[in-house]
Amino acid sequence: MLALAERCEEASKPDRMLDAEIYEALGYTVRRKPTNLVSRRAPAGGIYQQGSLWKTLGTVSGDIEVAVGLLRQKAPEWGWSLQCMTGENTAAFQALVAECTGNGVIGSLALCAAMLRAFARQDDHTPRQRPASRP
């Protein structure tokens, strides 16, 4: 998840392949659109499974509402914030999710980076069950 968070921070624009990887990292089953059906008029994408339903893969890397919705669905108790950091010729965003930060050229990428780092940290702190020892 940390490598995917870095990719979100390095991305210069939304990316449908990145969207699919974010959904998969968050535990969804994703079916990508076959590459032979991808064109300029029909960009990459796919569907993801939520319960027994299949839904269109959201543009989580490009739409802040989709990113926030996904965060609220997966971790409703987590707090988050998003700031725009402007410079002379640039604007960037910084997000904070459950005390983990992420940066991006657009708000949704920053939020995705922070969200992925927060889930990675949660996984690191989740106690693992040890295999039962044999006598």
pLDDT band at 128 (very low <50, low <70, confident <90, very high): very low
pLDDT at residue 38, as a whole number: 66
pLDDT tens, position by position, 27-50: 999 988 777 766 776 666 788 888
> Can you spell out the DSSP letters for 39-90?
-SSS-S-EEEEETTEEEEPP-TTT-HHHHHHHHHHH-TT--EEEEEEE-SS-
Span 66-90, average pLDDT: 91
What topology does CATH give the domain 2-125? Answer: Bacillus phage protein (3.30.2120)
Mean pLDDT for all residues in the chain: 87
pLDDT band at 129 (very low <50, low <70, confident <90, very high): very low
pLDDT at residue 34, as a whole number: 76
pTM for the full predicted model: 0.83
Span 17-24, average pLDDT: 94
